[in-house]
Structure 1
């Protein structure tokens, strides 16, 4: 047998193992509300090749590919336990078991590592929490996809309705079509049918009522059987407490804004300050995509090295508030053609840092340039540190943060030398550290942070909604603090 034959046989063997993982992952998700992760990446509803690629990604992190032969025993061990709702990272289980010197079996080690999700410690599955989307644009449709995807276990969050302005003939059919197919993010994973007579979209078994209204005051959500719902405002029309309070109608308990909040509206970046949300807080903001991209790595750097001052320059994809061709716009430069120009504009991300990181005393400034790409942006974070560091030290630290810290769902890490913006379409992280571009000299560090300003941000929004709804389940093994 040749070397090539050996490689192909090995691949086929791993395919077979990955294929056998799928029903185990699916059963844990459907029956016990357990989400199986691999280095913070969900394996639920993934194909054989996707599972193998996710395992291979581990070499980007720690230099060695993780094999399904290493993680499969931990997955089997999980199926034998009395698990409650949780997220369990089999990549972390494999890594921590390898580093453990007690000689425990896979079964014993797994039982110990996830003890907080078993027996008397496990939390009970909760009734699904109603969610309403107010507005159905770029972010609204991606949040809808995520909510439908996460409804697979029958628990957690349940998308009940979408509120939009009526736009004439076949309105609901056209909106469903935009949910079904997306020029950037591809096809919806599942089936969508439309009931025009009852103004309903049926997506993967989820009945979603389409409500037509020009103003929040026109809607009584209880008339549609909606109770204690979280409303996600994707329009950005109202950004202060007074305006957003209009949504607090019968059937709505909390309002989450997908834009920076003004005044005393809390700006929440999941992973950084989501645990500061007061239980009785009814109105909050998920800040901006750029704020979500820079605040987690800024916090990581401040925690380890201290930050005296910083500047963020965002090179941002164009958005729907710009013109396709030159035309009147209330902003001075955004009226110029978005796909033909680089456009200097303002960003509120730097000033929003103070709300998310009130203990950070460093002055952070910022500016932005819109460029002719439809999605994925990069933030260049230039920091003056409180102490000197080496490039190798900072790289090792950020790699470890992305793997094992409480920020591992927010910060990703890539070493690929040829990575470009389109490679990050669909990333679920708030930002991705580009290892090859990192610069460190003495007390100065410059981080290059990619982020999918549409999908990655939408994932952060859903995480915040899960947290305030009480359906954000614990992760095991617990991240290092």
Structure 2
């Protein structure tokens, strides 16, 4: 049996998520990043990559190529999907990690330029072929999917929590607030933007914000469509996010211990995706975690007869890991289709 060739990945956007995808691919034995589109200068992109990794010397800049011990990735100073010639790189999938090009028309630009498939690192703005959340609905994916989203770090964490609990308890409704690290699209100083609150400094304020997870949760878990409210608080922390969820349960006999036991079982069933923290951790303790959801057993509280409050942790590296899980999923589906 011949060994399958590495999966050829293109990346648009070499911000935090793009760099994490690159680092994870370099540490793998089945993925190679062949091209990266970003408006940054190659020497600055290389500098940022080296500043974050534990082994910066493994990454070299040779002209317009990022080189490591496994592959060479061509750096292209390109800003828009319509400008990137994916066809000349023979990519199997492009990950759009910009967070900007979420419309279907931009995904079609990627496809039109030669990638067989494009994966958004965040939620879309309109209809696409599939939202795939590893640990929940991988089985729904088909080899015919072309425009895909892996949700977002927050949406994935929330969906995994609800999916785990819904198999054991009747959840009538709920609310979620993500206490979220500040993001690259926030201003560090007060600066007039399109939103009043987000025009204030991310470095010195807790900023209430909306969150669109509720709009798409029903697409992933139809039983929760219209039952969950979601919001965000952006806080002056660079990494590490907290999911604060309040659940209204149909059974008043359910207590905090019962919820914790279900989540421990979920972690055992989905290792590498869900974990449980038994210690009193804080946000910096989750930095570097490849999990999508780290449930905080000490944070579970029962309030009144039917309300359970839970806390869970996550950070962006977990989402970058799941993006590559989705890439692998579709490579497997393609291989199965070819073998059929």
TM-score (norm 1): 0.66
When residues 297 and 408 of structure 1 are mapped into structure 2, their CA distance, relative to the original with a 3 A threshold, is: farther
1:192-226 alpha-carbon deviations (Å, 9 max, x no partner): 11112xx1111233111112223333333343xx2
Q: Pick from 296, 300, 322: which aligns with 1:438? A: 300
How big is the shift at 1:138? 1.1
How big is the shift at 1:268? 2.1
What is the CA–CA distance in structure 2 between the aligned matches of 1:321 and 1:250, rounded to whole Å?
Answer: 27
Q: Is the 8 A contact 2:86 2:110 kept in 1?
A: no
Aligned to 2:49: 179
What is the CA–CA distance in structure 2 between the aligned matches of 1:351 and 1:148, rounded to whole Å?
Answer: 35
What is the CA–CA distance in structure 2 between the aligned matches of 1:401 and 1:124, rounded to whole Å?
Answer: 36
Instruction: Kindly indicate whether residue 93 of structure 2 is the aligned counterpart of residue 230 of structure 1.
Output: yes
Q: Is the 8 A contact 2:32 2:70 kept in 1?
A: no
Aligned to 2:24: 146
Q: Pick from 140, 145, 155: which aligns with 1:291? A: 155
How big is the shift at 1:362? 6.2
What is the CA–CA distance in structure 1 between the aligned matches of 2:192 and 2:25, rounded to whole Å?
Answer: 36
TM-score (norm 2): 0.92
Q: Is the 8 A contact 1:323 1:338 kept in 2?
A: yes
Q: Pick from 325, 339, 349: which aligns with 2:203? A: 339
Unpaired stretches in structure 2, ≥5 consecutive residues: 336-340
How big is the shift at 1:306? 2.1
1:423-447 alpha-carbon deviations (Å, 9 max, x no partner): 0001111111111111135432211
1:111-154 alpha-carbon deviations (Å, 9 max, x no partner): xxxxxxxxxxxx86322121000110111111111111113xxx
Root mean square deviation of aligned Cα: 2.1
Q: Pick from 207, 220, 241: which aligns with 2:72? A: 207
How big is the shift at 1:187? 2.8
What is the CA–CA distance in structure 2 between the aligned matches of 1:330 and 1:360, rounded to whole Å?
Answer: 31
Aligned to 1:163: 37
What is the CA–CA distance in structure 2 between the aligned matches of 1:178 and 1:164, rounded to whole Å?
Answer: 13
What is the CA–CA distance in structure 1 between the aligned matches of 2:100 and 2:235, rounded to whole Å?
Answer: 24
Q: Is the 8 A contact 1:351 1:364 kept in 2?
A: no
Aligned to 2:110: 247
The structure with the largest alpha-carbon Rg is 1
Aligned to 1:327: 191
Residues 298-447 of structure 1: matches in 2 within 5 Å? 298-361=162-225, 363-387=227-251, 388-403=253-268, 405=269, 407-417=270-280, 419-440=281-302, 442-447=305-310
Q: Is the 8 A contact 2:217 2:225 kept in 1?
A: no
Q: Is the 8 A contact 1:324 1:337 kept in 2?
A: yes
